[in-house]
A and B are shown apart, each in its own frame.
Chain A
Amino acid sequence: MSDITHDHHDHRPSGWKRWAYSTNHKDIGTMYLVLSMVAAIIGGAASILMRAELHEPGIQFITDPQFYNVLVTAHGFIMVFFVVMPALIGGFGNWFIPLMIGTPDMAFPRMNNVSFWLVAAALILLVIAGFIDGGAGTGWTVYPPLSSADYHPGMAVDFGILALHLAGASSILGAINFITTIINMRAPGMTFHRMPLFIWAMLLTAFLLLLAIPVLAGALTMLLTDRNFGTAFFAPDGGGDPVLWQHLFWFFGHPEVYIMILPAFGIISEIVSTFSKKPIFGYLGMAYAMTSIGVVGFVVWAHHMYTMGFNVETRAYFTLATMVIAVPTGIKIFSWLATMWGGSIKFDTPMLYSMGFIFLFVVGGVTGVTLANAGVDMAFHDTYFVVAHFHYVLSISALFSMYAGFYYWLGKMSGKRYPEWLGRLQFWVTFVGVNLLFFPQHFAGMAGMPRRIIDYPDAYAGWNMVSSWGAYVSAVGGILFFVVLYKTLTSNVKADANEWGVGATTLEWTVDSPAPFHTHEVTPNVAPEPAE
């Protein structure tokens, strides 16, 4: 197409070396996406096993309750650290940060390779943690004393800790890479206030990673030494306090939920703008809404700990601070709606998923503001109401943004056009499935059904059955996704360089599809007026 791509320069190593030693941001991005899909199959299988077990009251086929706990734990960890983060951050981040800011590659390509292989090793360790010594059944929050040597005496929790250390190290290296790239290597003319919102999102995510992950790493190390070397950071019978773990975990944990959702915000902003054929409404407001969400996200952590005995003043503060986050979040929702307002919208699969995202995120946001009230949360904490909240606002929202981004960029990454009708079918199956799956959990939770337990009284049977059927439908949606992927990769319908038309204005649409191995070797200039 234009002279800024040089296909004839496409020399690259072949065979396994291309992948194992890769320093190319696109190849590494692809590897992250593949890892995420593999992990999604494992994590998804765990969730289907759980829903099948909960299909009816009583114990169905998981005879060892600890195995159910292990499934809960593995599902949570795998989805957070090995599905959502690798796809949204490692996958799309690596693929599209350089393409969108107009630079040939990441700042530290070799470090990028290390990041990927660390997270791959971490996934293996985590799976091992599920199988040795009865498995780690601590939940993703790993609260002591349940996670201490008293209740998890085997090696499983130690393997889990090691896995998280590796995944954390990978994230930190990746974040340093992203920030350096975005700060120093933007194309001339692309000032901070002219960066695509996806780049804003990735920059903020990387900063949150740098501030939050080390705290988790520190806390995990303390837990490891408590378990194995006789320290007592979290053991009261040694002068420690298990509540300190909760503070450290949630000081990491709350920003972590934004680490997963900010990239989604970025992707949704790009897609909504593209398919409404309009620039995003309130660009600067969007950018600074994300910034303030990131900042305020560090001072609300104790809304996860309302029941552990704070005095009223403390709970009032955390209630207020938590609700403040709803303000920038609302700004984002209204800006998306305003962008769509009056636009000539094309309802292709990426846009369907983006609108699905906005719907799910609003539902989850409403229950979030409900839970933010310390008084209400006394009743709802650790019930299925919380499960419904965070799956709406985080888990399936993030999943929808991943699907959206994947359909949006699949042509750019593979050079092939996915079959649109199949994409839409996949969307509708998934949309019906996840709502059937998680909406009833609000009712079960309000009726008091506790989370993370293998069995429940008969009173909860109805909604659980509906929920389980929803899970099976969602799984069909997941399988359909792989069908779409297979059909796309084996089809011969070529994707245009810019398959979405005038709405798609970011730099990745200026290079060929599939994006050549080397892009932007000559830096594009995006100054409003050609510079010099």
Chain B
Amino acid sequence: MKLKKQRSASRVGAVVLNTEKENSRNGLTAVVLSFLVFSMIGLAYASEPLYRIFCQVTGYGGTTRIAVFDNKSSVAENSITVRFDANVNKLLPWRFKPMQNKIILKPGEQAMAFYEATNVSDKPIVGTAVFNVAPFKVGEYFNKIECFCFTEQVLLPGQTVQMPVTFFVDSSIVEDRNTKEVNTITLSYTFYASDDQSEAENLSKISLKMKKSINNPGETQIIQPG
């Protein structure tokens, strides 16, 4: 583009823009672009469920698997240590702790661990536990057969429950070159108050009527897994 040429050209081929037709074309462009903007916002929000599904499918972020135990599956030679960790959202007035610090087992063997939760408030509360394992990369090999975290838990005022989790570490963990050096896995849970507290509200109505006839506060029960 030579300057001289442009200038002389501008005298020859002058066109006046900004006609009505041009305006409506601009409007159309803007509408298409706004559509793009709104789909990106939608995508950002869609990322939350998508991310959850992605982690469940791939074991990313230490997301564990749900499995049925197969007796015939092979057992690896070297033992692996599973440690247990417990956390509570600060808005949930529960005490929550593992009843054993660690379990040593061989990949391919099934094991059961217990956690204990106490409702230290004066009303029934429904809690949900989220979980993962560290290091994240072993998520796809950590299988839960039964877990208190599969369902919501309702605790009455003062009630203490012991909650089991049965699990096994897939023996193919020792065949994956990314995971075979792992000798310790930490299983972690965090309890928080469920959004849906209707069950707790029903219970508090019943317990008001029946007073102490349900579980005695302070008494510990073992809940059935599942």
Residues of A within 8 A of B (CB): 2-4, 103-104, 107-108, 150, 172, 175-176, 179-180, 183-185, 188-189, 194, 210-215, 217-219, 222, 232-233, 235-241, 243-244, 247-248, 309-313, 498, 502, 504-507, 509-510, 521-528, 530-532
Contact = CB atoms under 8 A, between A and B. Distances in A.
Nearest to B25: A184
A231 to B, nearest CB: 10
B53 interface: no
Given A180-B33, A211-B40, A237-B130, A509 B15 contact: no
Contact of B61 (A233, A241, A502): A241
A522 B7 CA distance: 12
A215 B40 contact: yes
B214 interface: no
Contacts of B136: 309-311
Contacts of A248: 44, 47
A240 B48 CA distance: 9
B29 A184 contact: yes
Given A505-B1, A510-B7, A244 B51 contact: yes
B18 interface: yes
A194 B1 contact: yes
A188 B36 contact: no
A522 B10 contact: yes
Contacts of B10: 2, 4, 510, 522-526
B22 interface: yes
A526 B30 contact: no
A180 B48 contact: no
Given A4-B7, A532-B13, 14 more contacts: A2-B10, A107-B29, A180-B33, A183-B29, A185-B26, A214-B41, A218-B41, A237-B88, A237-B89, A244-B47, A309-B134, A526-B9, A526-B10, A530-B8
Given A237-B190, A239-B192, A184 B22 contact: yes
A238 B13 CA distance: 66
B41 A222 contact: no
A217 B29 contact: no
Contacts of A211: 36, 40
Contacts, number: 166
B28 to A, nearest CB: 9
29 contacts: A4-B14, A107-B26, A108-B26, A176-B30, A179-B29, A180-B26, A184-B22, A210-B36, A210-B40, A211-B36, A214-B38, A214-B43, A218-B43, A218-B45, A237-B88, A237-B89, A237-B130, A239-B130, A239-B192, A248-B44, A312-B178, A504-B3, A505-B3, A506-B1, A509-B3, A510-B6, A524-B9, A527-B13, A530-B9
Contact of B6 (A104, A238, A524): A524
A240 B51 CA distance: 10
B190 A523 contact: no
A185 B44 contact: no
A532 B22 CA distance: 21
Interface string B110-132: 00000000000000000010100
B7 A2 contact: yes
A214 B44 contact: yes
Given A184-B26, A244-B48, A311 B178 contact: yes
Contacts of B34: 176
Contacts of B30: 107-108, 176, 180
Max chain A C-beta neighbours (<10 A), residue from B33, B45, B61, B130: B33
B52 to A, nearest CB: 8
B210 interface: no
Contacts of B128: 239
A179 B33 contact: yes
Contacts of A3: 11
B81 interface: no
B97 to A, nearest CB: 15
Nearest to B48: A233
Nearest to A238: B192
B61 A217 contact: no
A509 B7 CA distance: 10
Contacts of A236: 130, 190
Contact of A210 (B12, B16, B18, B33): B33
A188 B6 contact: no
Contacts of A506: 1
Given A214-B40, A215-B40, A532-B13, A247 B130 contact: no
A141 to B, nearest CB: 16
Contacts of B9: 189, 524-527, 530-531
Given A237-B87, A309-B137, A502 B51 contact: no
Contacts of A235: 89
Interface string B56-98: 0000111000000000000000000000000111100000000
A530 B40 contact: no
A238 B137 CA distance: 22
Contacts of B99: none
A233 B7 CA distance: 58
B209 interface: no
Contacts of B62: 309
A114 to B, nearest CB: 13
Interface in B162-221: 178, 190-192
B167 to A, nearest CB: 20
A273 to B, nearest CB: 11
Contacts of A531: 9, 12-13
Question: When A and B form their complex, which 6 residue pairs have the shortest distance between CB atoms, in order from nearest?
Answer: A218-B44, A525-B13, A214-B40, A237-B89, A524-B10, A309-B136
